[in-house]
Amino acid sequence: MDLLKNKAKKLKKFQLKKRGVIMKILIGKTAGFCYGVKRAVEGAENEIKNSKTPVYCLGEIVHNKQVVEDLKNKGITFVEDINSAKGTTIIRAHGVPKEIYEKAQQKNIELKDYTCPNVLKIHKIAEEYAGKGFFIFLCGSKEHPENIGTISYCGKNVYVIEKEDDVEEALEILKNSNINKLLIISQTTYSLEKFNEIEKRVKSKLPKNIELILKNTICKATELRQNETEKISKMVDHMIIIGGVNSSNTKKLYEIAKVNCKKCICVETAVQLDIAEIEKSNKVGIMAGASTPEESIQKILEKVEKIIEI
């Protein structure tokens, strides 16, 4: 992201061709690949170069269509079932259920594990506290691949809280379980605001005889992006969020931005950008999700530049 950051510093002020007024473009410093995504994508590219057998990846390596297509073109075969994999098989940044490791061993499949270290940390926490007899509340989406993996480490006593309104049902299930120890953890890309609200609701209604352990497992990169998105969206009159339509962290950036900025759009590529709308703005903010490659951000900037007189 060094080239992009240098460009961002230069793109503070330009003259619009049509109106002759100053346009400010603010680009988030944290926009684009996080450490876990970068590690997974670079790891996949290395496997393509060095593996003597065909390379497979179990599920999308990250939630970004452009990244997946690029790796397909370079030779990776993406499969949804471990039974469809052969030879060298990559475990994506989101991680997988623990039984996948056992199946791979049975099938003599060589796994290359690029699960994000922050996700692996959550797996260890979940497994440790499940072993101690804790009921686990996992904040996040039931269908997100990261949580599907994490759930496998939580044992039988787990409830996935997707939104604040799920707290009452979760507490009722906890009550009926007769378990008096509760652990609350979170998907790495969950909304910090929602997590804090869930914490408040649980604490306000949790019986005093239940031991509560709360671990904010939202990764720092997610928190920084969310905070920066909030800050920038309050400073501009048009906000552009760049990222995959199936990217959880990108969706949350968009949700944050649209609260503070009336004109807010979420796009995957520059093709989707409406320049006519951008032209009406004096201050434009740009932020990208953790799975968004630099190339996608660069193309958005180039398209915006076309309406600017340098």
Residues marked as catalytic: 146
Residue 37 CB neighbour total at 10 angstroms: 26
Q: How far apart are CA 76 and CA 209, in angstroms?
A: 52
Beta strands in the chain (DSSP E): 13-16, 22-27, 55-58, 77-79, 88-91, 110-113, 135-139, 158-161, 181-186, 211-214, 238-242, 264-267, 283-288, 308-309
As beta bridge partners, residue 242 has 267, 288
Q: Which residue has the tokens 């030879």?
A: 87
Q: How far apart are CA 123 and CA 117, in angstroms?
A: 10
Q: How far apart are CA 74 and CA 85, in angstroms?
A: 17
As beta bridge partners, residue 239 has 264, 285
